[in-house]
């Protein structure tokens, strides 16, 4: 089962490699994004950023296959973009918690800073809304495990994206 699905376009950084992995008690960090899975440079560099933690870089399809084979393990998945997370959810896989971590602004898009670390477009907001729908109406934002949890749909509404 996926114990924690984090949406974070920075993928692996200190927050993820140290705090979240330990908090979740997972054996590995699974990066789930089709493009990253095909990039040999990122596949080589991401484990280095994880400071010795086990890192698996998979396409969405490979992530789902791995989850099916390891259902008894607590899995920690990082989706690069909200659409990656939505694709995983649409498969029907069980996910204990979903968290929007960081979303750096993408140049050339009409983004709004929803929080100080999360940029989103109207299109992103619609995907986040669909994620929440498939997750019992809930979607949170939390930088670190010991930080407060924010209702991300409320944040999107406050930013006038929903």
Catalytic residue annotation: 13
**DSSP string covering 55-77, please?**
EEEE-HHHHHHHHHHTTTS-EEE
Residue whose token pair is 């204990």: 96
Q: What phi-psi label fits residue 119: left (phi over 0), alpha (psi between -120 and 50 degrees) or beta?
A: beta
Query: Roughly what angle, to the nearest 10 degrees, separates helices 122-134 and 82-90?
Result: 30
Contact residues for 67 (Cβ-Cβ < 8 A; gap 6+): 1, 2, 75, 77, 93
Q: How far is CA 80 from the centre of its chain?
A: 6
Q: How far is CA 152 from the centre of its chain?
A: 13
């Amino acid at each position: 089962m996926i114990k924690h699905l984090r949406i974070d376009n920075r993928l692996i950084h200190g927050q993820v490699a140290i705090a979240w992995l330990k908090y979740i008690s997972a054996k590995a960090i699974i990066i789930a994004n089709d493009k990253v899975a095909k990039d040999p440079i990122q596949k080589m560099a991401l484990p280095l950023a994880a400071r010795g933690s086990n890192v698996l870089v998979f396409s969405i399809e490979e992530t789902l296959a791995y989850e099916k084979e390891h259902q008894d393990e607590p899995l920690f998945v990082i989706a690069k973009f909200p659409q990656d997370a939505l694709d995983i959810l649409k498969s029907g896989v069980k996910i204990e918690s979903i968290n929007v971590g960081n979303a750096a602004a993408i140049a050339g898009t009409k983004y709004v800073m929803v929080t100080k670390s999360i940029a989103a477009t109207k299109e992103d907001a619609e995907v986040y809304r669909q994620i929440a729908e498939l997750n019992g109406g809930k979607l949170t934002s939390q930088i670190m495990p010991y930080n407060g949890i924010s209702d991300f749909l409320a944040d999107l509404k406050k930013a006038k994206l929903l």
